[in-house]
Structure 1
Amino acid sequence: MLTTLLRDSRALATLAVPLILTQLAQVALTTTDTVMMGFLGTQELAAGGLAIVIFNQLRTMGVGLVTSVGNQIAAAGARAEQAAQDANQDGQEQGREEVRGIVRASMALATLAGIAGAVLMILIGQALPWLGQDAAVADRAQTMIFALAPGLLPCLWFQVIRQFTVGMQRPQALLQITIASVAVNAGLNWILIHGTWGLPRMGLTGVGIATSSVYLLTFIALYLSAKKDTTLAPLLSLNLMEADPEALKRLLRLGIPIAATYGSEAGFFSLTALMAGSFGPAALAAHTAVNQLVYIVFQVAVGLSHAASINVSRELALGRYDDARRIKNTALACAGVVMIVVGILYLTLPELVLAPFLESGSDKALTIAGHLLIVTAFLQFFDCAQNIGVGLLRGLDDTKSGFRITLIGYWAVGLPAAWLLAYALDLEAVGIWLGLLTGLATTAILLLRRYSASLTARADDHDGAALLK
């Protein structure tokens, strides 16, 4: 049992570790923007933060639209590999052409989503003064939005190539390029903000141009890297005019619920931030600091979720249902080990953990944050498990169930529980986080139960079909 778990963990880590490190590097990318904007002043930081929130909301939903691409490619690639092992040339070429078709359709989808998202982003920017935002802040945010909006298109193109390389289980270049992009982004930010090397001082606009430029450069770099890979190059077809309408419809059918799930989760956490703010600046500062810690650790869950999802798609394509069932246990065990280590740090060294986010003089905020860390030490297990559950269901091509269950967990259970504990029972910020824990635990249990039930049903159908033959 232990030997099997260790073997499966090593196999999962081969794909998961590069993805986890890539996610952490992307967090560093946005953190760099925030730090650079802070040097410009309070109004610039507020305006830039507002622009990035709008960009990230649309980017997150756009990424959701193409997230299933990795699963589709993993399944098609597995079928092509199996056909090659069986010396079935027709089956191998059919699988390879299926991969090419998925890439073309996903690039078409990313292009449409990128253009629509950029236009919507600009329209939201123009509406900021009517949405109750300070006029000066809105004006600065609009200038940055105009510079950020074009970057949405190469950002989503990059995500398509990323899903392609991950689906083919060759994500190594992805990590190297993402890490390099952090340094490039910092350098471009500094040059364009301050106008070095004879360039004009652009301020916030420079941050937007730098970010858009980095998205374009990373897309080009990842594309060129894939074209140099002898396994990937023959399958990387970007001719949008040959995109198959049926493949595009299938990706939309799978992608829309994922985009809605991502949007729902972001809205859930945003609303709890507003609730925390109702208890004063100290509660909001504590909530923000602990939420950032959760967000950083959450990247481990994202990497494990993607890796588990891709592996489930491959195993099902090959009819290996027992292996697909073990992937759930392996991913949860790996996540559990990491969360135990992090939880011990939260409980034993809270001041050290909070030091980068809260000033030492903020006694009230530090006290509240210390209490929130106790809740978080347990909450993060369920946060990680629910994200893995969403990924596992995506491996089954079941994205609608994930969306429905997250609606129940977040909005029907989590939000009412947070309100009841925070306001009715007067637990304030701690009550909000206990509500979050309740919602995430409900979501995790329902998602994992759904995966086990769906997988068992598919295995029974598969065995029944085999008996009939």
Structure 2
Amino acid sequence: MQPKPTALLRDSRALAVLAVPLILTQLAQVALTTTDTVMMGLLSTTDLAAGGLAVVIFNQLRTMGVGLVTSVGNQIAAASAHAQSTENEPDRDGAKRYAAEEQVRGIVRASLALATLAGVVGSILMLLIGQCLTWLGQEADVVNRAQTMLLALAPGLIPCLWFQAIRQFTVGMRSPQALLQITIASVAVNAGLNWALIHGTWGLPELGLPGIGVATTLVYLLSFLALYLSAKKDPVLAPMLSLNITKADRAVVRRLIGLGVPIAATYGSEAGFFSVTALMVGSFGGAALAAHTAVNQLVYIVFQIAVGLSHAASINVSRELALGRIEVAQRIKNTALACAATVMATVAVLYLTLPHLVLRPFLDPNAAADEKAVHIAAQLLFVIAVLQFFDCAQNIGVGLLRGLDDTRSGFRITLIGYWLVGLPTACLLGYAVRLHTLGIWLGLLTGLATTAVLLLRRYAAGLSTLTSKKEAPVAR
């Protein structure tokens, strides 16, 4: 069922109320990694390749950690929707309101406990993976520099996941506005710390490439503290925000793990797909990896629009289903995809008409050292102009399924799309057909397209099942 133009406009405005702050926050957040990538490129092509490799590993583990706590927003949204649906019922001494607050408070504590555990384990894994890079066909100089970068990044994973847990709490309560202000401020702080720690200004040590990792770790810590203090000042959010993870209810933690592990596996499957292809591209040399890093950052920037739409659609689906409005949940899918397609088409035109301008922040077309990387990256822009449509659609599909509390189907589908279709295609085109980096990205495109189609079909089937149950006659 396609929404009529007036309904589409109305639904788009409703989606935008939550999606726009989230999209702007995501874009501001990606400005952190974009700033890092630009400054890596200013150091040298080798530093860009090494830093890009380290960030790929960090993002792999960060993404999986974020997946573990992503269901928190949906759980809180559903709890608040149930509380809202009983507002007209008698509530002696505020007992129902207190029970709802206590339920949300328990979810927050459990999410922070889960984030702490995931952060510690992820930091250790990050360092261990760094020691194995020499076995994966990467250039020795690139590996050595990547290892120093990982050492600086690893401690930042813990406050990063704390921030994500509090973020899901604010999003679930439909109060994400402070996120944008904090993230914008963190961009400026990150840029200043990057410059100071790379070059040793303001009395700080001159660290070079690892200075970018140290700056990132500090920014994650400061962002968490700022978001926590902001939430504590909010009279609605403050009563439900507790950092005392020792009081976390084990049953709630187990429930979040049950929902979060499939999401983490789904996110990890996608991130792992990109990580493996980065290693494959690295086997073609430093110039290819530098081009891959630059183009991948462009994809990552645009992907944040999909993330914002996905989270907003997911939260809204959870609320509408809790209120029994299945037909609205169907319209949410159509609206999110229509909004995403409009933005993706606009960006694709920019890639195809101004390729050197798009690549200029990362690679210098006039520099002899960057000439080969620029040539490879310019070819890849034609691929990502199409790829980003499917990348956006599959992320929205994952969010929609999360709104159904169906977190397992997404993981199974990504295994098929990424690993059984995308990766073999990348290997075939990259190595057998000898298209090299271009072939790897064509494999990425194929995997994302397959995944998007399967996820959206699964969501439609899930809504059909709910509709059938709703319409089934009640047995007497």
Q: Which residues in structure 2 correspond to 1:193-272 (within 5 Å)?
A: 193-272=198-277
CA contact (8 A) 1:80 1:96 kept: no
Superposed, which structure 2 residues align to 1:60-139 within 5 Å?
60-88=63-91, 89-125=94-130
* Distance (whole Å) between structure 2 residues aligned to residue 353 and residue 206 of structure 1: 26
Match of 1:55 among 25, 45, 58: 58
- Cα 1:91/1:399, change in 2 over 3 Å: same
2: CA distance between counterparts of 1:433 and 1:140?
Answer: 25
Aligned residue for 1:394? 402
Q: How far apart are 1:386 and its partner, in Å?
A: 0.7
Q: Which moved more, 1:53-62 or 1:301-310?
A: 53-62
The one-letter code sitting in structure 2 at the alignment partner of 1:253 is G
CA distance in 2, matches of 1:282, 1:135: 15
Partner Cα distance (1:437, 1:289) in 2:
17
Task: Name the counterpart of 2:440.
Answer: 432
1:263-282 alignment runs, 5 A limit? 263-276=268-281
Aligned residue for 2:22?
A: 19
| SS at 2:242 equivalent | coil
Tell me the residue number matched to 1:293. Answer: 298
Comparing 233-242 with 423-432, which one deviates more in the overlay?
Answer: 423-432
Alignment check: 8 A CA contact 1:273 1:287 kept: yes
Aligned residues, how many?
468
- Give deviations 1:317-353, integer Å, cap 9, x for gaps: 1111111111100100100111121222233333433
The 5-angstrom pairing of residues 401-420 of structure 1 reads 401-420=409-428
CA shift for structure 1 position 60:
1.5
| Partners of 2:45 and 2:287 within 8 A in 1 | no
How far residue 313 of structure 1 moved from its aligned partner, in angstroms, is 0.9
CA contact (8 A) 1:80 1:95 kept: yes
Structure 2: gaps of 5 or more residues? none
Shift of 1:99: 1.0
CA deviation map 1:61-97 (0-9, x unaligned): 1111111111111111111122224445544433322
Question: Which residue of the partner structure matches residue 178 of structure 1?
Answer: 183
* 8 Å Cα contact 1:51-1:141 kept in structure 2: yes
**Is the 2:37–2:362 Cα contact (8 Å) retained in structure 1?**
no
Residues 149 and 434 of structure 1, relative CA distance in 2, 3 Å threshold: closer
Per the alignment, do residues 393 and 318 of structure 1 end up closer, same or farther by CA in structure 2, a change over 3 Å counting?
Answer: same
Q: Work out the CA distance in 2 between the residues paired with 1:454 and 1:384.
A: 20
Deviation at 1:42, TM superposition (A): 6.0
Q: Distance in 2 between matches of 1:287 and 1:135?
A: 18
The verdict on how the C-alpha distance between 1:429 and 1:114 changes in structure 2, with shifts beyond 3 A counting, is closer
Going from structure 1 to structure 2, the CA distance change for 1:199 and 1:69 (only over 3 Å counts) comes to: same
Are residue 2 (structure 1) and residue 5 (structure 2) matched?
A: yes
CA shift in 2, pair 1:418/1:397, >3 Å: same
Comparing 30-39 with 10-19, greater Cα deviation is found at: 30-39
Mark the runs of 5 or more structure 1 residues left unpaired by the alignment: none
- In structure 2, the CA distance between the partners of 1:410 and 1:144, relative to structure 1 (3 Å rule), is closer
Once the 2 structures are TM-superposed, how far is the Cα of residue 413 of structure 1 from its aligned partner?
A: 1.4
Give the conservation status (yes or no) of the 8 Å contact 1:81–1:92: no
Question: Higher relative contact order at CA 8 Å, sep ≥6: structure 1 or structure 2?
Answer: 2
Q: TM-score, normalised by structure 2?
A: 0.89
Task: Give me the identity figure in percent.
Answer: 74
Is the contact made by 1:76 and 1:96 (CA closer than 8 Å) also made in structure 2? no
Matched, 1:449 2:457: yes
Give 1:130 deviation, angstroms.
6.7
Q: How many Å apart are 1:163 and its aligned residue?
A: 0.5
Q: What TM-score, normalized by structure 1, do the two folds share?
A: 0.90
